[in-house]
């Protein structure tokens, strides 16, 4: 047990301050990846890293890693997350993991503690995927799961590419990607779901991450007058999209608790009250902790969409926006997190993560685990996202202990 | 039988020329009501009216009426339609009725014919309703069915009001509305549906117009993370919208051939792949030739939407964008149209109109009928909208005879 202790006030103040960058009028924050607001947030965090005497490096996909030297050299024990947000994001998603990591370093400096192994705090590029698909792009490239050039060439919803935007905001770094060595990785994050808040549990010990499947459908029908075209002669792209959306919901009922499905984006063309839509562009987000079940759900969804489109005389195109198998974290490290939480007298429970996180990419290259704290009412990707200060501090304290144990182990 | 004859070349040339105003790159035309393009189209048509020696008046809602003096004074025998279009419109919808009316006047002048009663050619403001709801606004106000001030205060999809835009484009006229006297009204229009084209019939003798019900729904749910929110804890506005859209289609199957339903416009907020939509704004267009059936369908749709929203914990607001009962045209005048078509050796059939037309408003104030010509493949509200030149000329020739008979009758 280390002498170092989290400074709650300092942690909360840093979260509030970063929350003002790209802050929205009604609260919440908008820092889509690689926008001016993201650059401003990055500059602020990097400044804080340097102020803590950490050695900062930026890699070719814009991931930022700050190292706090250990008594010995070698691969660092790493923590971190992301600071990009969705268009209507909260203050804690991602940012909490990064700033709690920096608070751990600050606490160690206060207590004049140097761990045996180096400690590193990182934030990864475009975790949200709200502007560029796939999400978790930075950590995916960091781990070697996506070629750098493919990532740099990715075009966003506004037409710009990742490479252009990285250069524009000055975060096309010199450090190479895919060659990093990491001793172990622990990510601290808000749950972004209702489970801990509902059960009144303070610490979530995350055993793994749901698999994710994002499909974008483009349906091509025929625009026609809404009043004079008999129903049996229609090729209504919007109607088929609606059928797929309701099918996706029904599918979750058949597959049971672990299967979820969301149609979050849907755009009709020409989108006029009295014109049959000739085009429907929409996404389906499928998730399951069971990889085989996720594949089956995906296959069912796709064949239903094709059949429904064919029945309506509508052409159906499909594009994979993202695809990740379920991830199981390192059992020994998960155990260590659980022990640390109990040692600090925190209520805790084991659980899967319903959201995608950078940790699932790091899990491919080193022992990895995650720590969750409650989100009030489970609200996330929402300007009302909130976590109680006591829970934010508790999570950081558990992170501190786990990181020090890992860095000091023989 | 008059000596006057339609000049087909002149009619086709005028349609092509007006089609270049607001013309779209890939063909078709965009002249949303009261935009700069609409002003340009109006100026062009008014110039043509004046060149024919007609007396042009513009009323307070921007309807334009041009009178060709008769041998006697009195209420005119009127024809006409509209020249505004949807965003992806064709060259004939509305424009054909207006320019064929002017071609009738030109043909009478060529033959030096003056009818007993005056003849009038009109185009009415905002028939399409694609920018301002309700559609058929100009003829509705003309007939006295909507207070002028309400119409002028109507705010469009871009935030501008009808009154502001009328003044801006110089068509807030001096002529009063609601006081006009019209002897009779005959509107010539493309079918905008597949029936005549499919059956190879050249002239549609329109007996009446389907009733129309436009409902705009606004659903308010809760935005939340698409991966971490259990299905049973969601308030997904987009899912409810999809349920209503599929219900509307199923409803047409239960109600049978005369009941049609279209969800043409649907917008989700925030419209991101991994965020549950907190808002869905969409429209449902219901039509039926039977007024009672239309009311029943409307009631079913509304109660289903409220129930589906309640089941998902989503708030449901409803706004009537337009509501018109089915219309039955004057049997004597319908008979006259049919006789004229047969007298000219045209194949013809009686039919209802599936689309709303200005004629249904005029039918409240004077004996009214409509003449349809085929639309190839029934395409309409579509840049590919097309009617064969021979059919365009045939329709105008029937219109000429009917107007002259009406204007010369004792």
Q: What is the pLDDT of residues A41-79, one digit of tens each?
A: 999 999 999 999 999 999 999 999 999 999 999 999 999
d(CA A117, CA A218): 50
pLDDT higher than 60, residue B323 = yes
Best mutation target among B262, B276, B285, B311 (most A Cβ atoms within 10 Å) is B262
Closest CA to B157 of A33, A273, A327: A273
Confidence of residue B1 (pLDDT cuts 50, 70, 90): low
Nearest to A355 among B228, B277, B378 (CB): B228
Q: Do A260 and B231 touch (CB under 8 A)?
A: yes
Partners of B81 in the beta sheet?
B123
Q: What is the pLDDT of residues B45-104, one digit of tens each?
A: 999 999 999 999 999 999 999 999 999 999 999 999 999 999 999 999 999 999 999 999
Say if A289 is an interface residue toward chain B (CB within 8 Å). Answer: no
Residue in B with minimal Cα distance to A289: B227
Confidence of residue B232 (pLDDT cuts 50, 70, 90): confident
Residues 21-40 of B with CB under 8 A from A: none
pLDDT at A257: 61
Residues 37-76 of A with CB under 8 A from B: none
Confidence of residue A1 (pLDDT cuts 50, 70, 90): low
How close is the nearest chain A Cα to the Cα of B74, in Å? Answer: 36
What is chain B's mean pLDDT, rounded?
A: 95
Tell me if A383 is assigned to some domain. yes
Q: End-to-end distance of chain A based on CA atoms, in angstroms? A: 15
Say if B221 is an interface residue toward chain A (CB within 8 Å). Answer: no
Tell me if A109 is assigned to some domain. yes
Out of A261, A291, A324, pick the residue that ends a domain.
Answer: A324
Closest CA to A191 of A321, A380, A409, A347: A380
- Please indicate, yes or no, whether residues B216 and B164 belong to a single structural domain of this protein: no
Tell me if B1 is assigned to some domain. no
pLDDT at B180: 78
- Please indicate, yes or no, whether residues A29 and A69 belong to a single structural domain of this protein: yes
- According to DSSP, the β-strands at B348-353 and B279-288 are unpaired
d(CA B86, CA B90): 8
How many separate domains does chain A show?
2
Say if A314 is an interface residue toward chain B (CB within 8 Å). Answer: no
pLDDT higher than 90, residue B382 = no
- Please indicate, yes or no, whether residues B143 and B250 belong to a single structural domain of this protein: no
- Please indicate, yes or no, whether residues A83 and A12 belong to a single structural domain of this protein: yes
pLDDT at A324: 83
pLDDT at B258: 79
- Please indicate, yes or no, whether residues B361 and B225 belong to a single structural domain of this protein: no
How close is the nearest chain A Cα to the Cα of B199, in Å? Answer: 14
d(CA B197, CA B202): 8
Q: Do A223 and B382 touch (CB under 8 A)?
A: yes
Size of interface A-B (CB pairs under 8 A): 245
Out of B324, B342, B373, pick the residue that ends a domain.
Answer: B324
Q: What is the pLDDT of residues A283-302, one digit of tens each?
A: 999 999 889 999 999 999 99
- Please indicate, yes or no, whether residues B99 and B126 belong to a single structural domain of this protein: yes
- Please indicate, yes or no, whether residues A180 and A114 belong to a single structural domain of this protein: yes
Tell me if A239 is assigned to some domain. yes
- Please indicate, yes or no, whether residues A111 and A172 belong to a single structural domain of this protein: yes
Closest CA to A34 of A145, A187, A172: A172
Q: What is the pLDDT of residues A166-223, one digit of tens each?
A: 999 999 999 999 767 999 999 999 999 888 998 999 999 999 999 999 999 999 999 8
Q: What is the pLDDT of residues A102-136, one digit of tens each?
A: 999 999 999 999 999 999 999 999 999 999 999 99
Nearest to A229 among B87, B193, B253 (CB): B193
For residue B356, give the CATH number of its domain. 3.40.630.10
Tell me if A337 is assigned to some domain. yes
Nearest to B191 among A228, A252, A278 (CB): A228
Say if A365 is an interface residue toward chain B (CB within 8 Å). Answer: no
Tell me if B2 is assigned to some domain. no
For residue B233, give the CATH number of its domain. 3.30.70.360
Say if A376 is an interface residue toward chain B (CB within 8 Å). Answer: no
Best mutation target among A265, A272, A301, A357 (most B Cβ atoms within 10 Å) is A272
Out of B272, B301, B324, pick the residue that ends a domain.
Answer: B324
* Predicted ipTM of the assembly: 0.72
Tell me if B122 is assigned to some domain. yes
Q: What is the pLDDT of residues A365-379, one digit of tens each?
A: 999 999 999 999 888
pLDDT higher than 90, residue B129 = yes
Confidence of residue B404 (pLDDT cuts 50, 70, 90): very high
How close is the nearest chain A Cα to the Cα of B376, in Å? Answer: 12
pLDDT higher than 80, residue B178 = no
Nearest to B379 among A224, A353, A356 (CB): A224
Q: Do B271 and A264 touch (CB under 8 A)?
A: yes
Tell me if B372 is assigned to some domain. yes
Q: Do A239 and B265 touch (CB under 8 A)?
A: no
**B295, two tokens:** 């009311």
d(CA B73, CA B70): 6
- Please indicate, yes or no, whether residues A231 and A355 belong to a single structural domain of this protein: no
pLDDT at A34: 98
Helix (H) or strand (E) holding B260: strand B260-262
- Please indicate, yes or no, whether residues A220 and A197 belong to a single structural domain of this protein: no
d(CA A56, CA B242): 49
- Please indicate, yes or no, whether residues B89 and B189 belong to a single structural domain of this protein: yes
- Tell me which residue range forms the domain holding B285: 211-324
Region A276-283 average pLDDT: 97
- A374 neighbourhood in chain B, CB within 8 Å: none
How far is CA B214 from each of CA A121, A223, B13, B228, B304, rounded to the nearest angstrom?
A: 56, 18, 36, 37, 16
- Please indicate, yes or no, whether residues A233 and A256 belong to a single structural domain of this protein: yes
How close is the nearest chain B Cα to the Cα of A266, in Å? Answer: 7
Residue B349: strand, helix, or coil? strand
Q: What is the pLDDT of residues B4-60, one digit of tens each?
A: 999 999 999 999 999 999 999 989 999 999 999 999 999 999 999 999 999 999 999
Q: What is the pLDDT of residues B101-123, one digit of tens each?
A: 999 999 999 999 999 999 999 99
Best mutation target among B216, B242, B288 (most A Cβ atoms within 10 Å) is B242
pTM reported for the whole predicted model: 0.72
Region B134-157 average pLDDT: 96
């Amino acid at each position: 047990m280390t002498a170092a202790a989290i400074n709650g006030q300092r942690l909360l103040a840093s979260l509030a301050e970063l929350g003002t960058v790209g802050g929205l009028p009604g609260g919440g924050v908008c820092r889509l990846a690689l926008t001016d607001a993201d650059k401003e947030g990055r500059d602020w965090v990097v400044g804080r890293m340097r102020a803590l005497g950490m050695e900062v490096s930026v890699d070719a996909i814009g991931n930022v890693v700050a190292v706090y030297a250990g008594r010995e050299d070698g691969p660092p024990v790493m923590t971190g997350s992301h600071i990009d947000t969705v268009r209507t994001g909260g203050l804690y998603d991602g940012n909490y993991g990064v700033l709690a990591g920096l608070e751990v370093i600050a606490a160690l400096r206060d207590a004049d503690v140097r761990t045996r192994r180096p400690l590193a705090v990182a934030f990864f590029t475009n975790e949200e995927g709200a502007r560029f698909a796939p999400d978790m792009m930075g950590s995916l490239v960091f781990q070697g799961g996506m070629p750098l050039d493919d990532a740099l060439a990715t075009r966003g919803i506004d037409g710009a590419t990742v490479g252009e935007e990285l250069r524009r905001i000055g975060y096309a770094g010199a450090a190479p990607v895919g060659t990093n060595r990491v001793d172990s990785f622990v990510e601290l994050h808000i749950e972004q779901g209702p489970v801990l808040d509902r059960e009144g549990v303070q610490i979530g010990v995350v055993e793994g991450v749901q698999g994710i499947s994002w499909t974008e459908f483009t349906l091509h029908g025929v625009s026609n007058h809404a009043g004079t075209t008999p129903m049996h002669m229609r090729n209504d792209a919007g109607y088929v999209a609606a059928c797929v959306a309701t099918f996706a919901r029904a599918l979750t009922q058949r597959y049971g608790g672990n299967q979820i499905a969301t149609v979050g984006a849907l755009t009709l063309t020409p989108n006029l009250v009295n014109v049959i839509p000739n085009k429907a562009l929409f996404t389906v987000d499928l998730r399951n902790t069971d990889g085989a079940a996720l594949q089956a759900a995906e296959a069912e969804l796709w064949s239903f969409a094709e059949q429904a489109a064919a029945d309506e005389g509508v052409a159906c195109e499909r594009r994979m926006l993202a695809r990740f198998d379920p991830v199981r974290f390192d059992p020994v490290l998960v155990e260590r997190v659980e022990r640390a939480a109990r040692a600090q007298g925190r209520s805790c429970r084991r659980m899967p993560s319903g959201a995608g996180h950078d940790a699932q990419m790091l899990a491919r290259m080193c022992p990895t685990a995650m720590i969750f704290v409650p989100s009030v009412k489970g609200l996330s990707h929402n300007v009302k996202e909130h976590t109680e200060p006591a829970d934010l501090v508790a999570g950081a304290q558990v992170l501190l202990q786990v990181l020090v144990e890992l860095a000091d182990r023989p």
